[in-house]
Amino acid sequence: MNPILVAGLDPAFAHFGIARMWLDLETLNLSLDRFRTISTEKRAGKKKMIRQNSDDLRRARELHDAMHDELAGCVAAFAEIPSGAQHARSSYGFGVAVGVLASCKIPLFEVMPLETKLGSVGRKSAEKPEIIAWAAERFPEAPWLRYEADTFNKKKELVNRAGGLHLDNEHVADAIAIVQAGLNLQEFKQLLAMLKISATAHRASSS
């Protein structure tokens, strides 16, 4: 039975993580096709004659277009839905991210942050570096970002060692973890059953 393409989405206004993954319908094993973080640069400001709302629209379009490019060929997608903003600007950004997700044309399955942590690291209290390490261990050949040199804090204490996994990997690592967690959703299992029936029927008609 041929594998299908699915996508994991870790949406945010500034950094939107996407992972395209191959899913074996029989074993439910995942293999990585590719991943990317869509970063939208803020251009509006006192020194630039660009209106804030125009700049926001540009950034939203960049997220929309890039997401749809990455979803090409995918059968389903999994996403964490942004929530819980404490500031007006953060809430605005969450709204943009949710709006981009709403434009998704394939089945989209919602994954809770707690489900992402349990489905990957296996602990409710898992932190970002742990999820990055988990994803990198599963897919060591992927182009993970790494620190080029040792980094230190203001107290001259070593914070990150050269060659270590960069924290900027968090968005794509989360996207991978979201897919892993999404496989356990009852709603997706129903779609999976339909896909298996369809694949079996296709094989029968081709023989």
Question: Distance (Å, rounded) from C-alpha 116 to C-alpha 93?
Answer: 21
Stretch (H or E) spanning 200? helix 186-206
The pLDDT-based confidence of 27 (bands split at 50, 70, 90) is: very high
Q: What is the pLDDT of residues 74-100, one digit of tens each?
A: 999 999 998 766 788 888 888 999 999
Which whole number is the average pLDDT over 97-119?
Answer: 96
Question: Beta-carbon neighbour count of residue 104 at 10 Å?
Answer: 17
Instruction: Please count the residues of the chain.
Output: 207
| Position 45 pLDDT exceeds 80 | no
Name the residue type at position 100: V
- Contacting residues for 19 by C-beta, under 8 A, at least 6 apart: 7, 8, 32, 34, 35, 172, 175, 176, 178, 179
When the candidates are 3.60.20.30, 3.20.20.10, 3.10.310.30, 3.30.420.10, the CATH number that belongs to 4-206 is 3.30.420.10
- Whether residue 48 is predicted with pLDDT greater than 70 in this model: the reply is no
pLDDT tens digits for range 139-181: 999 999 999 998 888 888 888 889 999 999 999 999 999 999 9
The candidate with the shortest Cα–Cα distance to 21, out of 203, 181, 198, 199, is: 181
DSSP 69-130: HHTTT-SEEEEPPP----SHHHHHHHHHHHHHHHT--S-EEE--HHHHHHHTTS-TT--HHH
Under the banding of pLDDT at 50, 70 and 90, the label for residue 41 is confident
Task: Give the pLDDT confidence score for residue 95 in this predicted structure.
Answer: 92
Report pLDDT for 12. 93
Domain-by-domain residue ranges, the chain? 4-206
